[in-house]
Chain A
Amino acid sequence: SLAGFGNLMQDVLWCFSQVKGTIDIGVTEADIISTVEFNHTGELLATGDKGGRVVIFQREQESKNQPHRRGEYNVYSTFQSHEPEFDYLKSLEIEEKINKIRWLPQQNAAYFLLSTNDKTVKLWKVSERDKRPEGYNLKDEDGRLRDPSMITMLRVPVLRPMDLMVEATPRRVFANAHTYHINSISVNSDYETYMSADDLRINLWNFEITNQSFNIVDIKPANMEELTEVITAAEFHPHHCNTFVYSSSKGTIRLCDMRTSALCDRHAKFFEEPEDPSNRSFFSEIISSISDVKFSHSGRYIMTRDYLTVKVWDLNMENRPIETYQVHDYLRSKLCSLYENDCIFDKFECVWNGSDSVIMTGSYNNFFRMFDRNTKRDVTLEASRENSKPRAILKPRKVCVGGKRRKDEISVDSLDFSKKILHTAWHPSENIIAVAATNNLYIFQDKVN
C-alpha cells in the first residue's frame, strides 16, 4: 500500500523494530555510520561507515505464520568499499569514510549501487551465487591444475547447488575527477548517467566510462581568496533527466537545465528566501547554509535543510519556500556555544516519505523529527536503547525551553550534543524508517494492527 499517513499524524504510532550495531560504551570511530539508503523497492537497506565499509541489509520475506510481524532486515552483504589513501602531492590523507550511497534501479538479478568517499566514486555489483560448477577437466576440485597428459576422458562440468553466497564486486572506479571533497552523488533518471558534486564543481559521468567526466558546474573563482560560497548538495530531478539542483553555503538553491549549455553556470531558477533583518547575527550565514537538498518523489517540490529549519519549495516559486518547519529553534539562543564546539557545522540530512506527505530530519540527543505537511502536526522521537523492546511504541519527546520543566521533558541544557542524528532514510512505499545514531542503526515501523 502506498506510504505515508492517510490518517492524521497522531493516529500513526511508531514502534521499535530492530537495532544494529554494538552497545559498547566506547565507540570505535570506524563504526560511525555516515550514510543510510533504501533501494528503490525497499527490499535492501545500505549503510556506509567511517571505516569505508558498506553493510547491506535485506528484508526477510514476511512469514505467513506470523502475519503481525513485518519482515525484518538482516545482514545480506558486507564489504570494504573504500580504503584510506594518501595524496602524496599534498601530503594529506584521503579519508575512507563513505559520504554517500545511491542505488541504481534493479534491471536484472544483481543489485548495483554507487558509493563514494571524498575523492572516488565506485560502482558495486552485489549478486547472489547459489550454484557452482563442478567437474572441470583441467583442474581438480581444489583448483590445482591437472597434468594435461594424464587426462584420458573429457566431461562436461555441471552446476551444483551450494550455500548461498552474496558477493560484491567493484565494477567501475570513477577516480581523479575531484579536487575538492565530494558531498553528493545522484543517479539520473535515464539510468545511464550520474553526477558527483564536490565543494566547487559538479561532474557528469556515464556509467560505462570511467576515464572521463563532463564538468557541468564550476563555481571556483579565478582567485581562491575571493571564495565565499561552496556547493553543499546536489540532486537530479526524479523524472526530467536534464534537470538538477544544487544548494550552497549561502542558503540558495539553483536549478539547472543541461539542455541550455554544456557548462551550467547559469541557472534556470534561483531559489532564495529574503533575509529577516530582525534575526540578523554573525551566525546568520552559517545557519542558512544548506546541508541537504532532496526532490520530492513527485518532482514538484524540493526540500532543503539548514541548521535550524527544514523548508519545502515549490519549483514554480523562487522567492520563498512554501513551508518552513522549525527543527530545534531553542538552539537559536545557543549559537555562540554551538559555534565554539563546531556543532553549528553539523550537516543534517532530510527525507521525504513515499507519498511526500511527511518529512523527517534528525536533531541532537538522538532525537529525530517528523513533520506532516497536511495536518501541520509534528513529532519528536528518540532513538535509544531504552526504547528498544520489540514493537515498543515510541513515546513523543519534548524539549523544555525555559521555566518549569514538566516531568517527561528534557531541558535544552541537558541535551547531549554528541548524539546527533545526521542520517535517516524512509522506505519508498511503507512506514519503515532507518535512523543512524552514531554507530547504531535503528529501524522503526508503524504499528501493525
Chain B
Amino acid sequence: MFVRGLKRKCFDGEEDIEGTLAGIKAIPSYNLQRQSLLDMSLVKLQLCHMLVEPNLCRSVLIANTVRQIQEEMTQDGTWQMINTQSTGQASLDRLVSTDILCRSSREQAEGKHVPGYSTFNKDFAGDQAQDSSETMSTASSVQAPRNLQSNVWEMENPQENKGNFQKSLDQIFETLENKSPNSVEDLFSEVDNSYYDLDTMLTGMMSNTKMGHCDGLETFSSPTTATSNSNCKSDLNELDHIVEILVES
C-alpha cells in the first residue's frame, strides 16, 4: 500500500492553543518520519551495484534531499533536544515511525496536523513559520551549523553517540577492505568519481539493504539499523570530518 509523501506545512497562525497542543503530540511522528526518510536516503546513496557506475543524477537528487533534511533538523536543533528527552528510548520510536509511514492516508489525515517547526521553540511563542525557501538552502550553508548540530547531539546521548560512531567507522573500513586493492587506490586518487567515493564512505555505516515495497520499511526496525539510526546525523558530521582527513591524505 502507499503512503502520503512527507509534507511540511506552514503553521497556520489562526490555530488556537488546542491545535498547538495537538501539534506537540504530532511532532514526534513528523520527526521520526523525517528521520526515516533520512535513513532511507543514506541507504540509497550507498553503491549497491559495485560493478556499474551509479546514476549521478539520482545520487545528486538524493544527496540534496539529505541536505534539506539536515538543514531542517539543524534549524530544529534546540527544540528537538527537548522533545527527544521526553519520549524515551530511541529504538521504540523507530518502530513507531515505520507504523506511521505505513498507515493509510485516511488515518493520517484524520488525526494529524503537522505544524511548522519554527513555532515550537522553547518559549512556544507564536512565531510565524519561516519562509520555506530559506531552509532549502544550498550545500554551502550547511557547513556553518554543523558544529552546532554535533554539539547538540553530543550533549544529548554522549555514550550512545560514541558507541555508534565507533561501530560506523568499523563498518566503513570493512567496506573499504572488501574492495579490491585497485579500487581502494582509486578512492584516494585524483579521478573524477570522487563524488561517488565520498558518498560510499559517508554511507558505509548502513548495510546493503534492497528497498522493496513500503512494507519493507519494517527493516528499519531490525537490530542492525536501529542502533545506527538514532544518532545518524551526528555520526554523519563526525564521519564527514574523518573522511575529509582520509581523502586529503
**A95 and B140 alpha carbons, distance in the complex (Å):** 34
Interface residues of A in 270-285 (CB under 8 A from B): 275, 277, 280-283, 285
In the bound complex, do residue B183 and residue A230 qualify as a contact, i.e. CB atoms below 8 Å apart? no
A286-B61, A333-B105 known; A281 vs B7 contact (CB < 8 Å): yes
How many Cβ-Cβ contacts under 8 Å join chain A to chain B?
A: 125
Residue of A179, A181, A332, A333 with highest tally of chain B CB at under 10 A:
A333
In the bound complex, do residue B5 and residue A249 qualify as a contact, i.e. CB atoms below 8 Å apart? no
A92-B52, A280-B8, A280-B132 known; A249 vs B2 contact (CB < 8 Å): no
**A384 and B3 alpha carbons, distance in the complex (Å):** 28
Interface residues of A in 224-247 (CB under 8 A from B): 224-230, 232
**A310 and B51 alpha carbons, distance in the complex (Å):** 34
B63 to chain A, nearest CB (A): 8
In the bound complex, do residue B195 and residue A227 qualify as a contact, i.e. CB atoms below 8 Å apart? yes
- What chain B residues lie within 8 Å of A345 (beta carbons)? 55, 57-58, 61
A196 to chain B, nearest CB (A): 16
**A90 and B196 alpha carbons, distance in the complex (Å):** 11
B108-147: CB near A (< 8 Å → 1, else 0) gives: 0000000000000000000000011100101110000000
Output the nearest chain A residue to B65 by Cβ-Cβ distance: A282
Interface residues of A in 385-442 (CB under 8 A from B): 412-413
B200 to chain A, nearest CB (A): 13
**A92 and B47 alpha carbons, distance in the complex (Å):** 12
B189-217: CB near A (< 8 Å → 1, else 0) gives: 00111110010000000000001111011
Kindly identify which residue among A118, A229, A283, A413 contacts B5, using a CB–CB cutoff of 8 Å.
A283
Interface residues of A in 99-126 (CB under 8 A from B): 118
In this assembly, does A372 line the interface, its C-beta being within 8 Å of a C-beta of chain B? no
**A60 and B216 alpha carbons, distance in the complex (Å):** 50
In the bound complex, do residue A281 and residue B2 qualify as a contact, i.e. CB atoms below 8 Å apart? no
Output the nearest chain A residue to B58 by Cβ-Cβ distance: A345
**A179 and B105 alpha carbons, distance in the complex (Å):** 44
A44 to chain B, nearest CB (A): 31
**A335 and B214 alpha carbons, distance in the complex (Å):** 11
Prevailing SS type, chain B contact patch: helix
In this assembly, does A300 line the interface, its C-beta being within 8 Å of a C-beta of chain B? no
In the bound complex, do residue B138 and residue A281 qualify as a contact, i.e. CB atoms below 8 Å apart? no
Kindly identify which residue among B4, B133, B182 contacts A336, using a CB–CB cutoff of 8 Å.
B4
A259-274: CB near B (< 8 Å → 1, else 0) gives: 0000000000000000
In the bound complex, do residue B101 and residue A336 qualify as a contact, i.e. CB atoms below 8 Å apart? yes
Kindly identify which residue among B7, B58, B195 contacts A224, using a CB–CB cutoff of 8 Å.
B195
Output the nearest chain A residue to B66 by Cβ-Cβ distance: A282
A280-B8, A341-B213, A342-B211 known; A228 vs B133 contact (CB < 8 Å): no
A225-B198, A341-B213 known; A90 vs B186 contact (CB < 8 Å): yes
- What chain B residues lie within 8 Å of A92 (beta carbons)? 51-53
- What chain A residues lie within 8 Å of B40 (beta carbons)? 339-340
- What chain A residues lie within 8 Å of B211 (beta carbons)? 340-342
In the bound complex, do residue B61 and residue A334 qualify as a contact, i.e. CB atoms below 8 Å apart? no
A372 to chain B, nearest CB (A): 30
A73 to chain B, nearest CB (A): 32
A411 to chain B, nearest CB (A): 11
- What chain B residues lie within 8 Å of A199 (beta carbons)? 56-57
A225-B139, A341-B212 known; A93 vs B65 contact (CB < 8 Å): no
**A219 and B34 alpha carbons, distance in the complex (Å):** 31
- What chain A residues lie within 8 Å of B192 (beta carbons)? 179, 224
**A227 and B34 alpha carbons, distance in the complex (Å):** 23
In the bound complex, do residue B55 and residue A181 qualify as a contact, i.e. CB atoms below 8 Å apart? yes
- What chain B residues lie within 8 Å of A341 (beta carbons)? 211-213
B217 to chain A, nearest CB (A): 7
In this assembly, does A289 line the interface, its C-beta being within 8 Å of a C-beta of chain B? yes
- What chain B residues lie within 8 Å of A412 (beta carbons)? 2
Interface residues of A in 309-347 (CB under 8 A from B): 332-337, 339-342, 345
- What chain A residues lie within 8 Å of B4 (beta carbons)? 333-334, 336
In this assembly, does A151 line the interface, its C-beta being within 8 Å of a C-beta of chain B? no
**A102 and B52 alpha carbons, distance in the complex (Å):** 25
- What chain A residues lie within 8 Å of B138 (beta carbons)? 228
In the bound complex, do residue B60 and residue A229 qualify as a contact, i.e. CB atoms below 8 Å apart? yes
- What chain A residues lie within 8 Å of B52 (beta carbons)? 92-93, 95
Output the nearest chain B residue to A285 by Cβ-Cβ distance: B64
In this assembly, does A162 line the interface, its C-beta being within 8 Å of a C-beta of chain B? no
**A283 and B64 alpha carbons, distance in the complex (Å):** 10
In the bound complex, do residue A281 and residue B139 qualify as a contact, i.e. CB atoms below 8 Å apart? no
In the bound complex, do residue B58 and residue A334 qualify as a contact, i.e. CB atoms below 8 Å apart? no
In this assembly, does B180 line the interface, its C-beta being within 8 Å of a C-beta of chain A? yes
B132 to chain A, nearest CB (A): 5
B202 to chain A, nearest CB (A): 10
Residue of B10, B58, B68, B105 with highest tally of chain A CB at under 10 A:
B58
In this assembly, does B96 line the interface, its C-beta being within 8 Å of a C-beta of chain A? no
In the bound complex, do residue A337 and residue B53 qualify as a contact, i.e. CB atoms below 8 Å apart? no
In this assembly, does B21 line the interface, its C-beta being within 8 Å of a C-beta of chain A? no
Interface residues of B in 160-195 (CB under 8 A from A): 180, 182-183, 186, 191-195
Output the nearest chain A residue to B40 by Cβ-Cβ distance: A340
In this assembly, does A180 line the interface, its C-beta being within 8 Å of a C-beta of chain B? yes
Can you report 12 A-B residue pairs in the complex whose CB atoms are below 8 A from each other? A90-B186, A181-B56, A226-B140, A227-B60, A228-B64, A230-B56, A232-B57, A336-B37, A340-B40, A340-B211, A345-B58, A413-B2
Residues of chain B whose beta carbon lies under 8 Å from any beta carbon of chain A: 1-8, 10, 34, 37, 40, 44, 51-53, 55-58, 60-61, 63-65, 68-69, 101, 105, 131-133, 136, 138-140, 180, 182-183, 186, 191-195, 198, 211-214, 216-217
Sample of 4 more A-B contacts, CB < 8 Å, known A281-B5, A333-B2: A334-B2, A334-B3, A336-B4, A336-B6
